[in-house]
A = this chain, B = another copy of it.
C-alpha cells in the first residue's frame, strides 16, 4: 500500500507475476495457462485460473507485444479519398464483420485512414517496421501502390475486392458476376423483354464484372447469336447524376426499354429521377434493379430491388484469411498443403491456398421490379 509513486499514470492492473504468486506457481506456468498451452498440470491450471479471476487480471498488451515480437494488432486501412464510400453501409458493415471476428481473438484493431500520399507512406513505413501483424485493405484503387509495398515488406495483407481478374494479393470479394446475372434473370423472369443496364466506370473491376453478369444472363436467355443489344448498355460512374444521364440516354436510344439493371443503388436512384422526368412509372413501365442494398435502396420510392453483398461476412472472412497468412498462427488443421484435397464445388469458391475467396451475392426483392 505504501509503494506507489506520488502521481503519474495511475498504477495499472495486476501483473502476471502477482497472479503467479497468488496461484503459488512460477511466472512461466502462469504464462502457459494464460496462453492455453497444453503442457500444464490441471492442478496448476486451476490455481492460475482462480487467481486470474480473483485479481481480475488482464494481460498487458504492450508488454506481451514487446516480448513476443508481434504487435498483436491488425490494421484496417481505409482510403479516404471518396468519402462517398465511407458513408455507404459498406464500410460500417465490413467493420462490424472484422470487429466481431476479432472479438474472440483479442487482437487489437488499429484503424487508419489514408488521406494522402504522406499518410500512406507513413503507414507503409509503420507497417514495414512490423508494428502491425497484418493489414486489411478496404476498397483499394487499381493504382494504389500500398498492396505491393506491403507485400515487398513481407507484411500479410488482405484486400476487400479485387483490382483485376488475376489479383495476386490475397482477397475476399463478392460474386459480382453472378449477382448481376441473377438480377437480370429476375427481370427476364418477370416478363421484361428489353432489359438495359447502367454500368459503373470500366476501370473498376467490380463494374466490369457486373456488366459481364448482365451480358451472360442475356446471352443465356436470348440464345440468339450476337448476344445482348449493345445499345441497351449505358455507362455511368456510380454517381446519382451519372445514373440519371445514363437513363436519359437509354430512353433516347430505345423508348421501349422496360427494365434496367443498375450497377449501383445510387445510380438506380438517378435513373429513377430520369424515369420520373420522362413520365415513366416504376415498376409498371420500367422495372428497376440496383446493386449494393444500401440505405438508398430501402428508402427509394418504390423501394428498390437490389443485389446484396454479404459485406459483414466478407469482413469476417478477411480476418480469418489474414490470420492464416500470419506466421505463427496456423489456423485450422491446415491439411491442404501438398494434399490437393478434392474441393467440393460449394457456394464459396476458395482456391487451393485459401487466399482468394469469392462470396455469393443475393437478390433482395422489393417493389421496383
CB-based contact A327/B128 at 8 Å: no
**A14 (CB) vs chain B CBs: closest residue:** B129
Asked whether A347 is an interface residue with its Cβ less than 8 Å from the other chain, the reply is no
Most buried by B among A73, A93, A129, A299: A299
CB-based contact B99/A9 at 8 Å: no
Complex formed: what's the CA distance from A269 to B95 in Å?
27
CB-based contact B80/A10 at 8 Å: no
Asked whether A224 is an interface residue with its Cβ less than 8 Å from the other chain, the reply is no
CB-based contact B58/A126 at 8 Å: yes
Give the number of copies in the complex: 2
**CB neighbours of A70 from chain B (8 A):** 9
**A89 (CB) vs chain B CBs: closest residue:** B87
Mark A72-113 against chain B: 1 for CB-CB distance below 8 A, else 0: 110010001001001111011101100110010000111111
Which of B83, B111, B131, B269 is A12 in contact with, Cβ under 8 Å? B131
Asked whether A125 is an interface residue with its Cβ less than 8 Å from the other chain, the reply is yes
Complex formed: what's the CA distance from A72 to B108 in Å?
13
CB-based contact B327/A8 at 8 Å: yes
Asked whether A367 is an interface residue with its Cβ less than 8 Å from the other chain, the reply is no
**CB neighbours of A126 from chain B (8 A):** 58
CB-based contact A111/B129 at 8 Å: no
Q: A92-B86, A92-B87, A269-B299 are in contact. Are A60 and B110 (CB under 8 A)?
A: no
Most buried by B among A62, A73, A99, A103: A62
Which of B73, B93, B131, B133 is A60 in contact with, Cβ under 8 Å? B131
**A265 (CB) vs chain B CBs: closest residue:** B299
Which of B8, B73, B91, B154 is A92 in contact with, Cβ under 8 Å? B91
Complex formed: what's the CA distance from A125 to B83 in Å?
35
Q: Tell me the smallest distance from the CB of A299 to a CB of chain B, in Å.
A: 5
**CB neighbours of A300 from chain B (8 A):** 299
Asked whether A69 is an interface residue with its Cβ less than 8 Å from the other chain, the reply is yes
CB-based contact B10/A130 at 8 Å: yes
Mark A328-368 against chain B: 1 for CB-CB distance below 8 A, else 0: 10000000000000000000000000000000000000000
**CB neighbours of A113 from chain B (8 A):** 96, 99-100, 103
Q: Tell me the smallest distance from the CB of A98 to a CB of chain B, in Å.
A: 9
**A58 (CB) vs chain B CBs: closest residue:** B129
**A327 (CB) vs chain B CBs: closest residue:** B9
Asked whether A254 is an interface residue with its Cβ less than 8 Å from the other chain, the reply is no
CB-based contact B58/A125 at 8 Å: yes
Asked whether A21 is an interface residue with its Cβ less than 8 Å from the other chain, the reply is no
Asked whether A61 is an interface residue with its Cβ less than 8 Å from the other chain, the reply is yes
